[in-house]
Amino acid sequence: MPATASLANAASTEAFTVPGGALGFVLWNTSAAALRVRIGHPAAASGEKEGIPLPAGDSSPRYFTHYFDKPLTHATGIHIHQESGGALTEGVGYDIITR
């Protein structure tokens, strides 16, 4: 079932946890903030290799889908960094892909 992530401003937030056994996840952004996503590690705002960029989705949603090579053996945190000027409590959502 889709859920909403709450993100602190100018910080890497563990936005959600993908449980063991999951096959992947879908993340979407309808907020006006660009995001940087890292799987299992804090995400940073600087450097092009410090997180997967997900553009702002102000006028249309932006999606990121990630499948793991095999089902996860343990839970893994998904970290997101954003610098919108304030905390985000809506506009960023996710769903876990299971069998």
Largest interatomic CA distance in the chain = 38
Confidence of residue 84 (pLDDT cuts 50, 70, 90): confident
- Structural domains of the chain, count: 1
- For residue 45 the two structure tokens come to 């705002």
CATH code assigned at 16: 2.60.120
- For residue 66 the two structure tokens come to 């990630």
Domain boundaries, position 14 = 3-97
Look at residue 91 and tell me whether its pLDDT is greater than 90.
yes
pLDDT for the residue numbered 71 = 97
> Which candidate, 88, 72, 77, places its Cα nearest to that of 22?
72
CB-based contacts of 64: which residues, under 8 Å, 6+ apart? 26, 27, 28, 29, 37, 52, 54
User: In the sheet that 52-54 helps form, which strands lie side by side, from edge to edge?
Assistant: 11-18, 76-82, 35-39, 52-54
Model confidence over 22-68: pLDDT tens digits?
999 999 999 999 999 999 988 776 655 578 899 998 888 999 999 99
pLDDT for the residue numbered 23 = 98
Q: Which amino acid is at 77?
A: G
> Which candidate, 92, 70, 82, places its Cα nearest to that of 20?
70
